[in-house]
Amino acid sequence: MKILLLGKNGQVGWELQRSLTVLGEVVALDRQTVASAYGDLTGDLSNLDGLRATIRLVQPDVIVNAAAYTAVDKAESERELAHTVNALASQVMAEEARQLDALLVHYSTDYVFDGSGDCAWKETDAVSPVNYYGATKLEGEQLIEASGCKYLIFRTSWVYAARGNNFAKTMLRLAKDRQSLNVIADQIGAPTGADLLADIATAAAVQALAKPELCGVYHLAPAGEVSWHAYAQYVVDFARANGEQLAVQEINPIGTIEYPTPARRPLNSRLNTEKLRHNFALHLPDWQSGVTRMLMESLNK
């Protein structure tokens, strides 16, 4: 089996480079153009012709798209680029997947919803993004669905990875220097490890290749829910319990309204994952287990 992976160096893309290797040959690209046995390949999603040509050269059985324009605030002003990368490039991948009868694996976001209420969003709930990033991700989903290709779309939330920066590491850094921190307490979701997103996508892709009726949109996040404020408290408590010297004395809960950003954020990022767990017979761990593992790695415990 041949797999084309786009966005290989992002949080999720990096983990997919690991998880996909057991399925077959992985041709992994970032936005650079590279010479390969297939010819010159580009994974630049703003170059739609180059992307189409690359897929035609590689002729993959599976296209996995981990690339996206993810700068949520910047997307408000850099609209054309965000739209090209998140919507139009998804359409190119979907059209080419359809021609090749390949499976397209793609990631989307809880930001397709407006964040109202306090129920966990189901795949069938009405979409209504509150920012431009969410709108482009939704359009990407719709273009994939309209193409007639075989696809798996995983909507997720609050992604972190052990590699690079993340919210927990930022909290730890600040907690070392500052006596008090202010953290948003009215946005609720589940911190989702990039490793979990890669592993579940890989396991689900294997099943969907054998049973194409499993294709569709799925919500994917660990079990449980937390606010950013309680998440920060969890991180600080864990670090202290493991011997870290922290200056922080208080973590103050603040409202989203007190932390204005160019793009609005939905308050309710809860995702109902029943469809995924049922259709693929997969288990989702609670969010604490992934966060704890990441903290142990970064604290060298």
Closer of 42 and 147 to ligand NDP (Cβ): 42
Give the Cα separation of 297 and 236 in Å (integer).
15
Give the Cα separation of 143 and 89 in Å (integer).
10
Amino acid letter at 207? Q
Contacts of 208 (CB under 8 A, 6+ apart): 103, 150, 152, 214, 215
For residue 123, the SS3 value is coil
Residues 8, 30 contacting (CB under 8 angstroms)? yes
Closest CA to 244 of 252, 235, 253: 235
Position with the least CB separation from ligand NDP: 10
Contacts of 210 (CB under 8 A, 6+ apart): none
Quick one: tokens of 294?
A: 């990441």
Q: State the minimum distance, in angstroms, from the CB of residue 247 to ligand NDP.
A: 28
Q: Is 133 a catalytic residue?
A: yes
Q: State the minimum distance, in angstroms, from the CB of residue 204 to ligand NDP.
A: 15
Closest CA to 204 of 277, 266, 297, 149: 277
Q: State the minimum distance, in angstroms, from the CB of residue 139 to ligand NDP.
A: 12
Contacts of 51 (CB under 8 A, 6+ apart): 42, 43, 44, 45, 89, 92, 93
Q: State the minimum distance, in angstroms, from the CB of residue 137 to ligand NDP.
A: 6
Q: State the minimum distance, in angstroms, from the CB of residue 260 to ligand NDP.
A: 19
Place of tokens 């920060």: 232
Give the Cα separation of 105 and 45 in Å (integer).
15
Q: State the minimum distance, in angstroms, from the CB of residue 109 to ligand NDP.
A: 4
Catalytic residue, from 133, 151, 160, 234: name it.
Answer: 133
Closer of 92 and 248 to ligand NDP (Cβ): 92
Phi, psi of 280, rounded to the nearest 5 degrees: -105, 0
Provide the Cα torsion 249, 253, 258, 260; round to 10°. Answer: 90
Binding footprint of ligand NDP on the chain (CB under 6 A) = 7, 9-13, 31, 43-46, 66-70, 85, 107, 109, 137, 156-159, 194
Contacts of 227 (CB under 8 A, 6+ apart): 184, 185, 186, 187, 188, 253
Which residues belong to the active site? 133
